[in-house]
Each structure stands twice: as C-alpha cells, then as structure tokens.
Structure 1
Amino acid sequence: MSSNLLGVTIKFFDKFMLDESGATLPLFTIAVPMVIGAMAVSIEAGYWYKSKSDKQLIVDMAAYAGAMELIDSDSDTAKILAELDALHNGYDPDLGTITINNPPLSGSNTNDTAIEVIMTQKGDQYFSKIFGANRITYRNRAVAELFRGSDACVLALNETVSGAFTATGSTNVSLDKCAIGVNSGHAEAAEFGGSSSTIAECLSVVGGVYGAENANFACGTPLTNAREIEDPYEDIAAPNLDDYPTCTEEVDTGDDNVSMSGGRYCKNINLKGTALLDSDSTYIFDGIDVKFIGAASNMVGTGVTLVLMNGATLSNVNGGSNITISAPTAGTYQGIAIYSDPVTQTADEDVKINGGSSTSIEGLLYFPTQNLEFSGNTTGANACTVVVANTIQLTGNSGLTTSGCENSFALKPPKINQGAFLVQ
C-alpha cells in the first residue's frame, strides 16, 4: 500500500512541476499533508502488525516453558516459570497484564497437562497519536500441552557405543507397558539378536537399531534419531560415610541362613546359604565383594536398599543364586533397590546380576557408570522394576513392568517421547 502511495505522490509532483497555473499551489498545499499522513498511518499499521506477532511469540514461548516444567514440577511452579519466561522475552508489567492458567479456562484443551498464557500490552503510537493516545492494546493468547510419553523401565545412558542396549542369544524379554530408552548415537546403539524375543511398549534410541525385526513394539516402528532421555535419578547422592563410622561385623553364611542387620560392611561377604535382610534398612557395601557361592546362595529382604561404594562388587550372582528384594516405600532411598555410587565405583566395569528364576528386584537398579548384564523379573505385588545403567544387556527370561512404581514407591520412571506442543 505504501509503495502505491509513493508512486501517486511522485506523479503528483511531476504534474505540479509542469503546471504553470496559479491554482496548483493551493491544491498542493492541501494534498501533501494528506498524502504524507496516509503514508505515515500505513507504515505505523505495519509496525502494529509486527509488534502483535512479536508478542505472540512471547506467549507461545511462555506457554511452552510452563508445559515443560510440568514434567517435574507442580502447577504453581510451572506457572511461575511461564511468567519468568515471558518477562525474560519482553513482557513489560508496566504496560499490561499476564494471566497464566493451569488448566486453561477455555478452549478445547482444558486438562491439567496444559498451560494457558494470556497477555495484554499497550502498544506504541507515533503519528496516530493525533487521533488519541492509548488506542492500541495487544491481546495475545497461547496454550501448550505436555505429552507425557511412555515409561521406560530400561535406560542405557552411554552416548557413543554400539550395543548400548542388547537382547541377544536365547533371551526372552517381556516389558509390560513400558519402553526401552537408549542414549547412544551409534548406528547400532540397540541390538536385538536373531534368536532373541523382545516385547515392549516402544524403543527410543538417539542412534539406530540392529535387528529391529526381532522385537515387537506396541508403538510400531522404533523411534530412531530421537532426543536424548534425561536421567531422572542423577541427583541421588550416596550415603555420607561419616554417618556410619562403625563397620558391621563380617558375614559368612556357611550353608545356613543368617540374618544381616542394616549398616556399613567393610569386609568381604561370602554367601552359601540365604542372607535375610532387615526390613526398612540400608546396606552399605564399602569396597568389598559380596560373593554368592553355589546354587543355594540367596539374598532376601523387603524395604531394603543395597549401596555399592568404593569399588564394591556383587559377584557370582548367576546359576541358581537369587536376589529377591524390594525397595523401601519411604525414606531417603525410597524406591531404590540397588544403588552403585557413580562417584566412587569403578567406571565402565561389568556387573552381572543374572541369577535363577526366583531373582526379583522391585524398585530401581542404578548403575550409571557401569555395564549391567541383567536377568530378572518383577514378580511382587509392587509391580515395579526400573533398570538404569551405562550399558544394559538383558539375558535369559526377563519380565519387567513399571505399572506400580509411582503408587508403591513414588518412583517416577524415565520417559521417552516426552515433550510439549503448542495446541492453541
């Protein structure tokens, strides 16, 4: 529009320069302010349109930030973060208001996983002020919704190697309504062998998959080139050994059963019979080897956490040996069954927990810097097993589920294919 007005103006001036009549001057005097005024209003209207688009971007980003915050935070925290994001990106409280609702008060997305941001801002006026000030007010609205994705009961954290997750040989893996997450960007980050059988909700892998035809995913095709999955447990800290100045006496079961009290163990433990663990207790294995000897060696406990520190190991957990434990339902290590300290444990070390058919570990198995070979099942009433390690190899017959994690342990499993989307 402004270019057309400019053309008209130029033609007008051309005619004026060629016109020798005295009547042209009054017409010119009247016309020029009108033409210039029209041009000014046209330019200012374009500025208003761009300003409204810029402010829409502010509410879009605020709604998105708030929805993403709902992953780990409550509604109030998410709303605060959305407002802070708007302030950071240009919202000025002196020029208007912002309202953030969770859930949204209107529209087609009014569930508690959606954030609504409504912002008003007074607009700048220049030439249009001659018609009155405070005439321009922008109102922008955006709604973003969180898509929570699927629970992952298996998460391999290594970012580069091939086979960060493997299910090979005669392995039969059944993951009930939970998924596999692999953070490696290698072209063969996840591997499924020809004679293995894997059933899972889905697979999310940063890199690629080898042998995907040997697995069955409820989501259909595996999610390759996916976003890296965050480790939700990375802030968990090992116990402070100053709180455990005294070491518990050495344990050797012989062929008999023996009761083990909670505490810090500083000498090797040899299990030939069954170690009966105290309920609601933490067991700190400090730089020692807990060795399972023979098919009759077992470890049994309810509401317990095994902590491995300073190079501690669990060895010979295979054949007929079994670990049958469940994590605490309250306390510092709520939901954590086995914790390998990422600070003091030997990095990239191989750990094998592939005992007999009675091996059942309910809760989180956390080996973030070590390579875990695991065979086990979720057989208890809590219905929760989550395996997180540097690399993971599932062997034998493994059946895992996360369906009871939040109800039983308030344990939130890792999520795949999780994100926020603008919906309005």
Structure 2
Amino acid sequence: MFYLSSSPSSLIATCGIVANLKGSSGLYMDSDTHLEATTIETMSNKHNQIEGKVKCTGTDNCLAQMSAPASDPLEGLELPMSTGSCSSTKKITGGSKNNPKKVTAGDYCKGLELDSGYFEMDPGTYVMENGDFIVSNGANVSGDGVTVVSHCSSDCQNPIGVQSGSTLDLSAPKCSSGGCVGTEGILFWSAGDKETKLNDDEKPIVTFESGSNVTLDGVIYAPKHNMEFSSGSVGGLDSNVILISKYLTLSSGSQVTLNRPADDMNPLKGNSGVALVE
C-alpha cells in the first residue's frame, strides 16, 4: 500500500514507483497531496482520489495500471548475522560538533540509540540483534560506508527510527567495480520474520518523523515492514535512495524528493526507485 495523507504531503521521484497491492487501497492519496515520478506501476485500475494529483516526468501518462506484480528485487540477499559476540551498549550520548562521538561498527545485543549531540559512524556493518536502531533528541549523525541491519524480533516495534528533529547524513558502502556484492549499496535493512499487518497498528514500522532532516545514499530495505515519513519530516530530503517496503506512508505535510543512486551505490541498477512489496 502506498498512502499519501494530509496536505501538503508530497513525493517527487526522479525514478519509477511500483505498488504491488491489489484494490483501491494500493495507491491512496488524500486531498492536496502530490505524487511525481517517471513511471508509476500498480496492480489495480481502481485507486482512491488520485485524479489530478499525479504528475509524470517526461511523458503525458506514466500511470501503468493492471501491471504484473513486481518481485522483491533484493530477495535472496544474504542477511548479515551475529559474529558471536556483541556489545551490551544500548544508548550513547553524542559529543560536540567539533568533537563528535565515534560509533564503532559491530553487533549490538540490545540495539543502539544515538541520543542527542553529534556522532560519526565508522564504516562497516552495524547489526542490531535484539533491539532497534534509534536516532533521538535532535542527534546529528554522519558516516560513510555504513550498513545498519535490524533483526526485528518478536517484540519489535520500531526497528529503525529517526526521531525529534534529528539529522542524518549517511551513505552505504560503495559497490565493487564488477557490481554490488553482499550488502554493498544497502544503507538500512529492517529484517526479521515479524511482518506488518494493516490491522495491528501498522508495526513493525521504520520511521522518519518530527522535522527530521535526512541526506542519504543507498537502499532502505524493509520488505516486510511499514515505512513512514510523518509530521513534516525530511522537509529538505533530496537524497539518492531506493525505498523497498511492504507499506509506504507519507503523512502530516511530509515532503520527500528521491533520486536514483549512482551505479556505484545501486545494487538494483536499472530498477525503479520506490517499490512496495506486498
């Protein structure tokens, strides 16, 4: 399901959008919302309130209805697992702008919360074994060559969350010269067997909320989970990212612009930039 709610929420994608869910709820737009893309593919020919709200880039009609369902373009990708030892650190307070707190890649037994202040994430893979990755209280987080993986367990609610005016400037590991290998190009991966259902408060959910300001390079991959940009979040987001999720919601005036990553940061290459895997 792709849901644009509450004026003036908008998504502008210099790439394609694929919505797999059948029926009128597959693509739903409230009044005064806006959607722009090079192509928009849906499995249905019945959509709620989309007339006059969809703009096509480079063509008069980019809405392809009754399309065949798209497969998960990253299905089969091997999930990074625990190394056998993990850090019990749960919450870290940041440093100053001139002396940011260093964050080390590795396994975190109970997840990791970066709470206020400035952080610099070292290159590498960060595995959340039994907890979430949370950026809170206006924290400012930067880093290159970063992959964050959350093993969403049975009690998982918010496997990846950017909260309360926080700032992110992160890029995934660049792909090898012969193409992407392993998790190269993957920035966030919300994994695990617990699956979002429409009737259970839409959790687990990956969130970017409350005026968060985000600059990202890479793929945000949540094939079984909801992803939501809310409460005016990422008002300045103009990032080179691909979103893959079960549900995608933009609400409360969120405005998001997405560009396809360069080939050295794109494990999908020619595929669309936004995919909803239902």
Give the alignment's TM-score, normalised by structure 1. Answer: 0.53
- SS in structure 1 of the partner of residue 92 of structure 2: coil
Which of the residues 34, 38, 42 maps onto 1:201? 38
Change (3 A) 1:347 1:193: closer
Alignment of 1:182 with 2:19, yes or no, is: yes
Q: Percent identity?
A: 20
- SS in structure 2 of the partner of residue 209 of structure 1: coil
Alignment of 1:320 with 2:165, yes or no, is: yes
Indicate conservation of the 8 Å contact 1:166/1:392, yes or no.
yes
Matches within 5 A, 1:4-19: none
Structure having the higher helix fraction is: 1
Give the count of matched residue pairs: 242
Relative contact order higher in (CA < 8 Å, ≥ 6 apart)? 2
Which blocks of at least 5 consecutive residues in structure 2 are unaligned? 176-180, 198-202, 274-278
CA shift, 1:412, in A, is: 2.2
Which of the residues 258, 268, 276 maps onto 2:120? 276
Q: Which residue of 2 aligns with 1:405?
A: 262
Change (3 A) 1:364 1:315: closer
Q: Which residue of 2 aligns with 1:367?
A: 222
Map Cα deviations across residues 157-184 of structure 1 (whole Å, 9 max, x no partner): xxxxxxx0012212122112x1211011
Q: Which residue of 1 aligns with 2:131?
A: 288
Note the aligned Cα RMSD (angstroms): 2.4
Larger radius of gyration: 1
Which of the residues 144, 166, 184 maps onto 1:302? 144
CA shift, 1:194, in A, is: 1.0
Map Cα deviations across residues 340-384 of structure 1 (whole Å, 9 max, x no partner): 2243x45442221236453122111110111110354344xxxx3
CA–CA separation in structure 1 for the residues paired with 2:211 and 2:140: 10
Map Cα deviations across residues 110-142 of structure 1 (whole Å, 9 max, x no partner): xxxxxxxxxxxxxxxxxxxxxxxxxxxxxxxxx
Structure having the higher strand fraction is: 2
CA shift, 1:329, in A, is: 0.6
Which of the residues 78, 84, 90 maps onto 1:245? 84
Change (3 A) 1:318 1:357: closer
Which blocks of at least 5 consecutive residues in structure 1 are unaligned? 1-163, 417-424
CA–CA separation in structure 2 for the residues paired with 1:187 and 1:293: 36
Change (3 A) 1:255 1:405: closer
CA–CA separation in structure 1 for the residues paired with 2:102 and 2:165: 20
Return the letter of the residue paired with 2:86. Answer: C
Change (3 A) 1:265 1:357: closer
CA shift, 1:231, in A, is: 1.4
Indicate conservation of the 8 Å contact 1:273/1:297, yes or no.
yes
Indicate conservation of the 8 Å contact 1:204/1:222, yes or no.
yes
Alignment of 1:192 with 2:29, yes or no, is: yes
Alignment of 1:341 with 2:191, yes or no, is: yes
CA shift, 1:284, in A, is: 0.3
CA shift, 1:315, in A, is: 6.0
Q: Which residue of 2 aligns with 1:232?
A: 73
CA shift, 1:268, in A, is: 4.3
CA–CA separation in structure 2 for the residues paired with 1:310 and 1:410: 23
